[in-house]
Amino acid sequence: MTVESTAGTATAAVPELVQLLTPEGERVEHPRFSLETTPEELRSIYRDLVLVRRFDGEATALQRQGELGLWASLLGQEAAQVGSGRAQRPGDWAFPTYREHGVAWCKGVDPLNLLGMFRGVNHGGWDPYEKNFQLYTIVIGSQTLHATGYAMGITKDGTDDAVVAYFGDGASSQGDVNEAFTFASVYNAPVVFFCQNNQWAISEPTERQTRVPLYQRAAGFGFPGVRVDGNDVLACLAVTRWALERARNGEGPTLIEAFTYRMGAHTTSDDPTRYRIADELEEWKLKDPIERVKAYLVREEWADQEFFDAVDAESEQLARRVREGVRNMPDPDPTSIFGHVYAEGHALVDEERAQYVEYAASFDGSEEVGEGR
Amino acid sequence: MAAENYSMVKALNEALRRSLEADPKTLVMGEDVGRLGGVFRVTDGLHKDFGDARIIDTPLAESGIMGTAIGLALRGYRPVVEIQFDGFVYPAFDQIVTQLAKMHARALGHVKLPITVRIPFGGGIGAVEHHSESHEAYFAHTAGLKVVSPSNPVDAHWMLRQAIASDDPVIFLEPKRRYWDKGVVDPLGEAPAPLHSARVARPGRDLTLIAYGPMVKVCLEAAEAAAEDGHQIEVVDLRSLSPVDFDTLEASVKRTGRAVVVHEAPVFMGMGSELAARITERCFYSLEAPVLRVGGYFAPYPPSRVEETYLPDLDRVLDAVDRALAF
């Protein structure tokens, strides 16, 4: 790939975009990345995409209704997450940002687990070892180093597990991400860096993060980078599988740039109308990740209306379960503040817990702690 | 192997060796810790005996070292990280404060990060900028971290072994100006005390000097000098900065009625501020004088030709002792 520099601007040659399923639902072949799928598998992929979008929509609604304090929607990124999520084996680890609800779904994490932190009852709290899905990481890019360290551990153990590190276009500017690239490269760690370039880091476009296509950065670190159509679930699946196989075979890290679009706001606290134009959104609607799979299934006659209705019904069931689950999520006991600060305890934490308990008891049930002066 | 006369560097080296032998999951990682044996030679010979897989020379990126150590710990390893000098820890500060300290709580206990972060700290060795800092208050201020600092080779040896064995993250501050002090260490013996206990280093009845790491020696010398003037000064070696063994401090100050806290770090918002406040709360009716503090000035650590002005020394400690006794 050549980069020409003229008059202070860098212009990259048009980057290649790996695509196996067009926005119109037409299956196309790629010279480097092939994929065999059965009709059953395609229906299962479609189901994942629909359920994940429905869950995400329900969480947005719950935030609007005051049941969640915040929600970071994945709308538009379902294919990137379901494709890369389904490429993983159970022994593989995923290190997510705070938006990888679709990856969590594919790993078998109960969606309700993801909502605790957005409701404010915990900071995550699930057991990462249960589904090999690390806790959400809010500070941008930090988890890429954890993923790399974990992958270094896999090498030491001599197993053929691998790791997927998720991050975004904004995170690509972080030192930690670049250090993760360096460590992964020099230790040849079995990690796949999966960058969802959704074009926007809150209000800043990708041009504010980079002057070269992000996947090209990998070359400077000494490992391959691939740009994939992030709204094409089949391409994301195929390319992630390929990268994971490389990792398992001792061929080291890979950078995948999933070229996609954040259809919603950064979070429910954001207002994208202040910084981007509606036309852009309309353009990306035509590349919807779910519609193209549906069109493919219909064209091939691998699914009928009964199937689509059943998936819709299941998604409504999921939404109901999520809604009830969130509403019934109890607030934590105040003394939980002092829980799990240390694995082996700490005298000051014990002392302050005891002081709080005594203080709370002094109200003697006459009024709630915190309501008094 | 019987007890031997070790420098602090050798005592630490032997502690690493014993810990590596005791648990195959223990790793040593950092800049130049491999063939070179570390810039202070604390890891000398370990690479030869334990190999690349366990003694890991890292790229020159502190956040990367800390972040990958966290990942290795998630995988079940027990990394001992070396930060080459105190002033180089700040690139890793985010990973330490935001990830290392909080992940256990974030995971409601499902995750443990048994990581020891060794940092040579403090001044007095004639170094260039960023090689003489005392940043213990930053770490002690952060819940989720434990912070300790040995003052002598015996403590250095045993406290490091205890820190590595701990399932909590431990910031292990090594007083680099004491690296070449000698002490008799018996690695086959037993740890003299729990990791987070303070120790009365010298008994006395008139005043309690409280110090840790490099300043314990200065305080012991001050107590010796004060004895010539007829003052019996008690010296408490804090050893653990988080948690602090307040019971030992309280017992001492209730006996003596006076306390002076000494550290190299700036007095303002330093460990001494917190110690003074809590000693006052616990010992109010026993105190004959306010708790005084001796430390660095509120200025960047100075060039080495004037660092003796900045660092608390025998005279500045004795000056504070006199002021406290004069109340």
- The alpha-helical segments, DSSP class H, found in A167-232 are 175-186, 217-221
B76 with B12: CB under 8 angstroms?
A: no
Instruction: Using a CB–CB cutoff of 8 Å, tell me whether B103 touches chain A.
Output: yes
Same domain, A82 and A217: yes
Does the pLDDT of residue A369 top 60, yes or no? Answer: no
A174 phi, psi to nearest 5 deg: -70, 145
Same domain, A261 and A343: no
Q: What ipTM does the predicted assembly reach?
A: 0.97
Q: What is the DSSP string of B131-193?
A: SS---HHHHHTSTT-EEE--SSHHHHHHHHHHHHH-SS-EEEEEEGGGTT-EEEE-TTS--SS
Same domain, A313 and A252: yes
Q: What is the pLDDT of residue A16?
A: 86
Alpha-carbon dihedral A22, A89, A146, B24, rounded to 10 degrees: -160
Same domain, A259 and A341: no
Average pLDDT score, chain A: 94
Q: State pLDDT tens for residues A237-250.
A: 999 999 999 999 99
Identify the domain boundary among A327, A344, A363: A327
Instruction: Using a CB–CB cutoff of 8 Å, tell me whether B17 touches chain A.
Output: no
Give A256's pLDDT tier (boundaries 50, 70, 90): very high
As for how many domains chain A has, the answer is 2
**Rounded distance, CA A288 to CA B145, Å?**
46
Within 8 A of B31 by CB-CB distance, chain A residues are none
Give B223's pLDDT tier (boundaries 50, 70, 90): very high
Give which of B57, B60, B74 to mutate to test A binding, by max A Cβ within 10 Å: B74
Q: What number does CATH give the domain B4-185?
A: 3.40.50.970
Active-site residue numbers of A? 262, 266, 275
Q: Please list the residue range(s) of chain B that carry CATH number 3.40.50.920.
A: 199-326
- Are A341 and B63 a contacting pair at CB < 8 A? no
pTM: 0.96
Rg of chain A, C-alpha, whole Å:
22
Closest CA to B4 of B187, B205, B149: B187
Same domain, A367 and A301: no
Instruction: Using a CB–CB cutoff of 8 Å, tell me whether A354 touches chain B.
Output: no
The class level of CATH for B199-326 reads: alpha beta
Closest CA to B86 of B198, B213, B218, B210: B213
Same domain, A290 and A305: yes
Within 8 A of B95 by CB-CB distance, chain A residues are 142, 145, 176
Which residues are paired to A204 by β-bridges? A201
Does the pLDDT of residue A12 top 80, yes or no? Answer: no
Show which of residues 150-189 on chain A sit within 8 Å of chain B, judged by CB atoms.
Answer: 150-154, 156-157, 175-176, 179-180, 182-183, 186
Q: What is the pLDDT of residue A367?
A: 54
Does the pLDDT of residue B189 top 80, yes or no? Answer: yes
H/E stretch holding B262:
strand B259-266
- Are B61 and A346 a contacting pair at CB < 8 A? no
Same domain, A265 and A354: no
Retrieve residue B297's tokens: 């000035």
- Closest Cβ–Cβ partner in B67, B106, B110 for A176: B67
Q: State pLDDT tens for residues B120-157.
A: 999 999 999 999 999 999 999 999 999 999 999 999 99
Q: Please list the residue range(s) of chain B that carry CATH number 3.40.50.970.
A: 4-185
A96 with A109: CB under 8 angstroms?
A: no
Same domain, A222 and A362: no
Active-site residue numbers of B? 131
DSSP for residue A77: -
Within 8 A of A342 by CB-CB distance, chain B residues are 104, 144, 146, 168
Does the pLDDT of residue A8 top 60, yes or no? Answer: no
Retrieve residue B159's tokens: 């406290």
Same domain, A256 and A358: no
Structural domain including A106 reads: 13-327
CA distance, residue A117 to nearest chain B CA (Å): 10
Q: State pLDDT tens for residues A79-128.
A: 999 999 999 999 999 999 999 999 999 999 999 999 999 999 999 999 99
- Are A127 and B110 a contacting pair at CB < 8 A? yes
- Are A344 and B72 a contacting pair at CB < 8 A? no
- Are B74 and A346 a contacting pair at CB < 8 A? no
Does the pLDDT of residue B321 top 90, yes or no? Answer: yes
Q: State pLDDT tens for residues B247-261.
A: 999 999 999 999 999
Does the pLDDT of residue A4 top 60, yes or no? Answer: no
Q: What is the pLDDT of residue A14?
A: 61
Going by C-beta distance under 8 Å and a sequence separation of 6 or more, which residues neighbour residue B152?
A: B8, B178, B181, B183, B216
